[in-house]
Amino acid sequence: MNAAPDGSVIQRDAPRADLIAFEIKDKITKSDIEWMSRITDEAMQAHGKIDMLLIMSNYEGSDLGAKFDGYANEVKVRSVAHIRKYVVVGAPTFARAMIKLSGTVIPVETKTFDLAEEAAAWAHLAEAGPATA
């Protein structure tokens, strides 16, 4: 596992290289979002298509600098063409609604799970097989 500079986010070990998994343990800072964006960007370049899993074990929001980071927003825009499945565990109610809505308007399959259903989220991604297939 790797940790973001401020320690609010860790990269969880994943069973395949085209699956990126992050656990958010606190408030996301500008350095955290840049770290996550760099890992995601490198994975998109290496694999073309990827799956992403976010586990919000203790999400406390984002700093203003994280929300408006230029590089992170650039990666987010490009990710629409590269992310096949976007799965979020433990999303707050407002975020869950946004995730479901975005899945209807962008070509990315989205799915949310309760925090207690983390194993089901991993199983959902395992059943899907490699994103690059």
Model confidence over 8-46: pLDDT tens digits?
A: 899 999 999 999 999 999 889 899 999 999 999 999 999
The answer to whether the CB of 119 falls within 8 A of the CB of 89 is no
According to the model, what pLDDT value does residue 64 have? 77
Closest CA to 58 of 80, 85, 26: 26
pLDDT > 90: what percent of the chain? 55
- pTM comes to 0.90
The answer to whether the CB of 97 falls within 8 A of the CB of 86 is no
Tell me the pLDDT band of 133, cut-offs 50, 70 and 90. low
pLDDT digit string (tens) for 70-109?
Answer: 888 888 888 989 999 999 999 988 788 888 877 777 888 9
Structural domains in the chain plus CATH codes: 2-121 (3.30.750.24)
Rounded CA-CA distance 122/116 in Å is 12
Cα separation values, 83 from 30, 53, 54, 98, 103, Å = 22, 11, 13, 17, 11
